[in-house]
Amino acid sequence: MPHPLGDFSLTWPFLAAAAIAYLLGSIPFGLVLTRLAGYGDIRAIGSGNIGATNVLRTGRKGLAAATLIGDALKGTAAVLLVYWYYGGEYQYFARELALPAALGAFLGHLFPIWLRFRGGKGVATYLGILIAVAWPAALAFAVIWVAVAAVTRFSSLSALIASAAAPAVLLLLEDRQDAQVFVMLTALIWIMHRANIARLIRGTEGKIGDRGKTVPQN
């Protein structure tokens, strides 16, 4: 006899994982932390972004670091919750569910329901997800980001180059399935940075540490 829920009985765990992860990813740490610290709406200064780089423009390095950690850990938590819930004998199933959870958390940060679907650009959350699925690739991402940032002082360029390298690192680690997912996440990062790319080409992109400077918006 066919199952009364049909195929939905097989797909609902994937939908649930993605939905829960999306809600986690939607937590706007940059906005919450800056308001709690008395800086008002972070979207009113700098680039208008809710991420750590724009929070740094308040001059509060600790606040920017807390934003970075919060945005990263929500991506890590979304994936690890799946592994925790479906551990042991269901480990293979957990591995399958980790992918929609990763995508859900990432989309939650980019398009948070609490902020009318206008969120950040996803770099910290991307790193947090990478930590959960393949920490050596996350380490490579961090090293590349720091190296490019140290030379250029462009956070956006650092993110673009590091995210482009991450799928290649995953392939070197023989992690083809995750590499395919991160190709998609990298594409989204580049799309979200399209205005930054245009400013980099024009030579008008803001640099790391610019305090309160208004960056042109496209």
Q: Please answer whether residues 195 and 141 qualify as being in contact, where contact means their C-beta atoms are separated by less than 8 angstroms.
A: no
State pTM to two decimals: 0.87
What are 10-48's pLDDT values in tens digits?
A: 688 888 899 999 999 999 999 999 999 888 888 888 778
**Contact between residue 86 and residue 65 where contact means Cβ atoms under 8 Å apart:** no
- Which portions of the chain are predicted below pLDDT 70? 1-10, 87-93, 209-218
Report the b/e string of 150-175 with b at 16+ CB within 10 A.
Answer: eebebbbbbbbbbbebbbebbbeeeb
